[in-house]
A and B are shown apart, each in its own frame.
Chain A
Amino acid sequence: MRESAVHYDTVSKQARKKKIVKRSTIYLILFLFTIVNAYPIFWMIMNSFKTGQEFSFDPFGLPDEWVFTNYVEAWVTANIGSYFFNSLFVGIVALLICILVGAFASYFLSRFQFRGRNMLYGFFVVGLLVPIHATLVPMFILMQKLGFLNTHLALIFPYVAFNLPITIFLLTSFMSSFPKEIEESAIMDGCGPFRIFWSIILPMSRPALATAVILNFINNWNEFSFALVLINDKALSTLPLGLANFAGEYTTNYTAQMAGLTLVLIPTILFYLIMEKQIVNGMTQGAVKG
């Protein structure tokens, strides 16, 4: 009796030991992953507060003395302020147009029966497969012909066009889930289709709209290739383009480059931390469903 109890005890001790080893390995791996993900960014932010000299002999530690000259340099010479404005302006205008026309089209695609409806929907969604950079050269030629080169319009239209497929996809599938009784009483009250769209369907689609807005904004905010090809004027550059140019000019001034990057990165990370749930939902949903 007693012997077996002792035996049982050692077995459970062994099992517990095994469990502890397993748990710590899991934590160790997850921790390593976190370091690999976060350290490059931390490294950059830390070094942006160092003088060039300190960076070259101590690139790992915290700054001995926190210097802000890099930031002054990045803000003044790189003109980051104006890039910020351009990115915000282009991003928001494109987003508003895309959501408005996208929601309007989705309303008709989801709530009405008409010939060619499925084909039209399919035609919009196929746009998800169009590789953006296969359109760079023709887009340049097209914008040249339209006289839009080097204006904000040259970015706004492609941004709308390339975000429409995912926007229509998300909104149509959301709007078609509403029961049809929703419109019926409104029609009895004499509401027209535009009124129904504006005061019933649109407010009800708020969750899907939020996802679409966030996806649109992040895509526009980070977009680089169209800006590179279609904008050739520093005063009109968006942030990604301006930053790439700045880094190209200041190739050897690493700490100033890092300050410029940090200025761009901080708002993105804050936005991400505040809206994490919606952003993650939007990006993974958009990805998996698309």
Chain B
Amino acid sequence: MHLLKKPWIIAVGVIPALTIYLIFSIVPIFISFYYSFMSWNGFSEMQFIGLANFKEVFQDSVFWVSVRNNILVVLASVFGQIPIALALALLLNRKIKGAKFFRTIGFMPVVISTVVISITWRMIYNSEYGMINNFLEAIGLGFLQQNWLGDPTWAMVAVCMTIIWQFVGLYFIIFLSALQTVPSEILEAADLDGASEWQKTIHVVLPSIWNIILISIVLCISGSLKTFDLIFVMTSGGPANSTEVMATYMYGKTFEGLRYGYGSAISVLIFVFSIALILITTKLLRRREVR
């Protein structure tokens, strides 16, 4: 660390990154605040309409469906991805033949583009030719067949399953590397005391990786709030708005309905909702940590 005699050099170093970051990441948020008070279709004269956009959003039942679905995705991710990943990591955290193979395949979906995953799973769920219905038929459970993405009662379930599938591997690997940092002396001491594997897991292993679990939960929440691509490609919010999330709702209103002011208002709400949820969870988890 040292001080420079010519502070302008620091400015030269920081300004390029700062400019790009400001213009293309921070300014858009303010732009959306500004446009959220306007009525504008992209071509005609803009018109100031105060809070009318927000009022309309709150009165639209489809918006509330999309909020509910966003929350469903968060819950499915937290209660699906984290426990499955943790259980698998605990199982693999021992001398096992082919451990590397399990890790490699386990992480694979995480690197695949969401669009590829969405189209693949759309075909897997296909009611006529899809893998799942064919499989159910083949094992004699044909009566369980569904039009997975075409039926409003099943579409959201199907979408959530895919989301869980996509990211279990990320937390699986995060937990695995955390497990390797658990000090072996403590585990050996527990062995000498005759602790069973279950007891060791509950009393030694889990407490020592607790911080990583908490971080993963926050990550999982903020990650699942970003769900847009997957649902947009798989169902575009349908059938009958049953899989709409806030982002797909916003996309439809703005770019298909050509209502830029209204879309900006939804953007503002997405921003506020995401930041609030992340702040609340970090706060809640932190409080528990102190205890």
Interface residues of A (CB under 8 A from B): 26-27, 29-30, 33-34, 36-38, 40-41, 43-44, 55-56, 59-60, 97, 101-102, 104-105, 107-109, 111-114, 120, 124, 127, 129-142, 144, 157-158, 160-162, 164-165, 168, 180, 183, 187, 193, 197, 218, 221-222, 224-225, 228-229, 239-241, 243-244, 247, 254, 257-258, 261, 264-265, 268-269, 272-273, 276, 279-280, 283-284, 287-288, 290
Contacts and interface: CB of A to CB of B under 8 A. Distances in A.
Contact of A124 (B9, B21, B129, B215): B21
A27 B170 CA distance: 20
B232 A228 contact: yes
Nearest to B274: A131
Given A133-B250, A268-B112, A287 B14 contact: no
B165 interface: yes
Contacts of B174: 284, 287-288
A225 B2 contact: no
- Kindly name the residue among A36, A56, A107, A228 whose own CB sees the greatest number of chain B CB atoms within 10 A: A228
Interface string B228-272: 110011000000000000010011001100001001101110110
Nearest to A257: B119
Contacts of B148: none
B31 A268 contact: no
Contacts of B270: 131, 133-134
Contacts, number: 266
B32 to A, nearest CB: 4
Contact of A137 (B120, B135, B229, B254): B254
A137 B114 contact: no
B34 to A, nearest CB: 8
A114 B27 contact: no
Interface of B: 1-4, 7, 9-10, 13-14, 16-18, 20-21, 23-29, 31-32, 35, 42, 88, 91-92, 94, 96, 101-102, 104-116, 118-124, 126, 129, 131, 134-135, 138, 165, 169-170, 173-174, 177, 212, 215-216, 219, 222, 225-226, 228-229, 232-233, 247, 250-251, 254-255, 260, 263-264, 266-268, 270-271, 274-275, 278
A254 B270 CA distance: 35
Given A131-B226, A157-B24, A158-B24, A138 B113 contact: no
13 contacts: A34-B101, A36-B165, A60-B138, A129-B278, A138-B27, A161-B20, A161-B21, A193-B9, A239-B113, A268-B116, A284-B170, A284-B173, A288-B219
Given A138-B264, A142-B31, A261-B116, A29 B91 contact: yes
Task: Tell me the interface secondary structure of chain A in the complex.
Answer: helix
